[in-house]
Structure formats: structure tokens, C-alpha cells
Amino acid sequence: MTNQLRHLTNRCYIRILLFSIPFVLILSGEAFSSWPEFPLSSDCFSASAYATQSLPAIAFGGTNYLVVWEDERISTDRDIFGARVSILGEVLDPIGIKICTVPNMQTGIKVAGGDQNYLVVWTDYRNASDDIYGARVDFSGNVLDPDGFPISTGEGWESYPDVAWDGTNFLVVWSDDRSTTTYDDIYGTRVTSSGQVLDPQGIQISSDLAWEETPSIAYNGSVYFVAWEHALG
């Protein structure tokens, strides 16, 4: 560690320590084990929650950001936590928002900001095969769909979701192996701000003989653009 980095790190920990004292006074002993850890700036980190927090995603919701991540504070079967962060970098939910903590793993989390709330999506292993689940979080940090609602739960594997907002609906895309002849394909569905899945059978976006995986989506004001990994056997 360079002297410059050590200096920045020490300074940030001092700042976090002062910031954290009120929570020590207000909350019981468990507060120590429930502090999140995610970047407050490019050069330092906050105090740590218990176990691993990893693979964050972020979206802007008009006033604040929502950061979501995989979290092992409850179980090594990863769960989903989040926190709002102001445009000034203030962590508005310092002990984290519990978004989904059902058994088995929830992973591959993505998030987009809409007109009324955020939509968080992920790959969920609560059932027999990988499925896509989502949960809305309003701009005040309330989870409107605790532990999530199903977006695509076919018999095959649905995984690697991403989500974007077009001003009217969200569009969720994922990799889907429902076909026995074309291997993993790309499917999607629109989801409303009220959490309604408008295309429950899924919209086929790409289906050829390759393995199509890890889609990523963006909206430019008029159309969506979806990109993905395309692997021939």
C-alpha cells in the first residue's frame, strides 16, 4: 500500500467511525454485524457487515441511487441487500435494506430506476431450477415485494438477468435454456411499475444454435439495445 493510499484509507476509516457512533448508541449489539460494506468513494470503504458482501449493481432513481448486492450475513446461501445513497455520497440505509432472504442462493443481481420505484432482478435458486425473480423498492427504501415475485420460472434454467426502464415499463432480459435444440437463448419480458409481468411466456429475442448468455440491456430514448455473449460449441 502506498503512503498516499494508506493516508486516504486511514482518513476514511476515521470518518466512518465518527459516522457510526450514533448507531452504536441507538441499536443493539447486532448492529455491528449488520453494517454493510460498499464504496463511499473511489478510495475507501465503510465498516464491514458480517461475512461477504459482493457483486454490487447500482441505478439512479431521480433523487438518490440504489446500490444492491449479494450478501452472506444471514447465510452462505446468498441473499440480496441494498442501500440508498444520496448524490452527495451519504449512505441513507446504513444497516442495509433486506430485499430477499429466502433459502437457497439469490445471485446475479441487477437494478433499474423507474418513475415510481426501482426494479431489482436476479437469478433465484429457491425452486428446482434457476429462475428469474424481481422485487420493487420504492424511492423511500421500502421493499414493495419482500423476497420477490416470479418473472420467469420455466422448467429449464433462466439466469443472468438485466433490466432497463423505457419511461413506461421495465424490460427484463435473461438467458433461457427452454429449448432442447438451440441451447441457451435470450428472452425478455416487460414489467410494469406495479410489478405486473406483461409477457409471462417471454419474448424471444435471440434463439440460434449458439449458447447465448449474460445479456445486457440499455434504452436510448426510443429503442432498447440488448447485447450478449454468443458462444458456438
Stretch of 24-32, 135-143, 164-172, 175-183 lying at the interface with Ca ion (CB under 5 A): 175-183
- Give the residue nearest to Ca ion (CB): 129
Distance CA 84, CA 61 (A): 9
> 65 Cβ partners below 8 Å, 6+ apart?
58, 59, 84, 85, 86, 87
Least Å from the CB of residue 214 to Ca ion: 13
| # binding residues, Ca ion (CB under 5 A) | 6
- Name which of 1 and 128 has its Cβ closer to Ca ion: 128
Q: Is 131 in the site for Ca ion (CB under 5 A)?
A: yes
Distance CA 83, CA 93 (A): 5
Cell of 196: 405486473
Q: Is 125 in the site for Ca ion (CB under 5 A)?
A: no
35, 183, 187, 228: which one binds Ca ion (CB under 5 A)? 183
- Name which of 101 and 204 has its Cβ closer to Ca ion: 204
- Name which of 79 and 131 has its Cβ closer to Ca ion: 131
Considering only residues 59 to 78 of the shown chain, the ones binding Ca ion according to CB under 5 A are none
Q: Which residues are registered as beta bridge partners of 91? A: 85
Amino acid at 48: S
Q: Is 182 in the site for Ca ion (CB under 5 A)?
A: yes
Distance CA 56, CA 99 (A): 14
Number of Cβ atoms within 10 Å of the Cβ of 18 = 9
Q: Which residues are registered as beta bridge partners of 10? A: none
- Name which of 70 and 158 has its Cβ closer to Ca ion: 158
Q: Is 33 in the site for Ca ion (CB under 5 A)?
A: no
Considering only residues 184 to 223 of the shown chain, the ones binding Ca ion according to CB under 5 A are 185, 212
The two beta strands, 131-138 and 149-152, are antiparallel
CA 45 to chain centre: 19
Q: Is 129 in the site for Ca ion (CB under 5 A)?
A: yes
- Name which of 129 and 142 has its Cβ closer to Ca ion: 129
Dihedral over Cα of 145, 97, 57, 125: its sign: negative
Distance CA 130, CA 124 (A): 6
Stretch of 25-33, 106-114, 123-131, 132-140 lying at the interface with Ca ion (CB under 5 A): 123-131
- Name which of 34 and 159 has its Cβ closer to Ca ion: 159
Q: Is 104 in the site for Ca ion (CB under 5 A)?
A: no
Binding-site ranges for Ca ion (CB under 5 A): 129, 131, 182-183, 185, 212
